[in-house]
Chain A
């Protein structure tokens, strides 16, 4: 066997557990050197035919050393193939070491070196089907479903202008969301399995008018959600969180209105941002979240066909970055314009975030769906603008 490096790489790609697993399945013998950016000295693990036999980390050796190395998540590793020469002090099996090491790490019994990295990944939830985008949702939590209803193809589930505050979830099938205008109806988007129908803001302020028409496309099975349960949960969230939900809900309605106006050609995009100054540039780094205390602001997306206005914000509305909600708007994908009379206050995002963390999965899903709908309706609006140009 030669003594050159046979395998090397970065620990955030393969952590120690995965690495030992890989070398184990391969039956490799040699020395694994682990280097952390936060420690001067490297850690060593000796392997014989895939099984760890000894390890050192500073003054530690044997099992203590190998366990301590599980805390090194940021750094480099290299594996040198050689005949095992050191004494065997580790007698546990490979998988036991890996699983136990990870358990100790998770239980906080192993010191983690370096800053914590935990970037959350969010998938693009909307799928495009032909012209009209389709939004699907996550798995349904049936404990929130109190009743089921079936609709046949073409049935109207909700009519724009009617009153009602139930929220449904689609158990099976697809529905089309449209807006009524003088010249007929405009299809905005479609929703499928796991998507929600109805507004969570209606549960907060009560007695809402339906703002769009929903029709069954093919046969649809709906589950009616326990509004008592949801309302109770919402009653316990802070006033700030409630206003945030109301603000997102109103933004969704405005974006859909904008889509209709754009399609009907009743919009002059320039008029919305005329005389206003740009507060947040599209794509600009902005970590904060603001609430409007007084005055107006406009959200607009910069496209190849100029700015597309998306929503007009008023007193009590929020804008900025919401770390737990992706609406596909500012700061990354839309700009904020402000009138001269605008007065702002920064909001404690951490508090809202931890409040969101504590919600039930169903409520989180409903809120997530609302944000996705904003994002998809925005795309629809921009597409309408593009067709016009």
Chain B
């Protein structure tokens, strides 16, 4: 099994490398650029300053150099050999990029293959720190919605299969289609309108918070159990897709299982319907679910861009959205790479889960 995991991990390296090249290429082909975004709207910044800024940020280097620097760092591209703090040697990139007569400072980046995602153009902080600050919020919302999706979706699927063709089945089928079709941005806004604007609580304030993760106070963010009401709306919006998906999947899987021989055997042994459905049926029907549970769990990391944005949820998805609009390449790329790694690991995880749950499957 260990051998299998290692082999899968090694196989994923070319995939990830391909993703880095493709995503970096797409990013750099996008029109405009961070230097212009940084200075736009300021009438007083002279044109030559924009050019200097571009040179200093390394944006005027050829694509391949920019990509290499991002992948492998720039500490080997511009260095200070005599330790006086001034760079005195360079490889592939100019010593004095902005041509002001003073060499640029020595490179300090180690590149993503050495775990360094660089610095945000806008916040001028390490990207990993920015992401680290956002991960807890994203996990909180993601876990809550996955949990709600499973807790509501699976029983609905089972019951719909048990009462196949009945009123409940038809109702939940329509519900699943509606939930799947509803755009989250629309649902989010409608819920904000209903629970934030139309419905009032006892003090005349909104019935549920219109957004945010913590109350607006000077005393810091309280622990999760004191601010569960902030989770309700965004969790529901994010869970709708899950509820729809899991319930349909579970129903189909249940109906599949129910025609198996061992179910007939169970029935013929005289087991109660309840025992047949839940002990023998549901447990086996859950096995195929493992295939997408893996990616779902690791997918929590990449955040939910739209829901987080609508509900001012301070997670990774919203960071990615604002980074894209600001053309903050290092942040965008970090989010893309993390999502890519999460997906690859998610699929490996689901393969492993599958084998663990289903004794018929063996690694080879």
Report whether chain A binds chain B: no
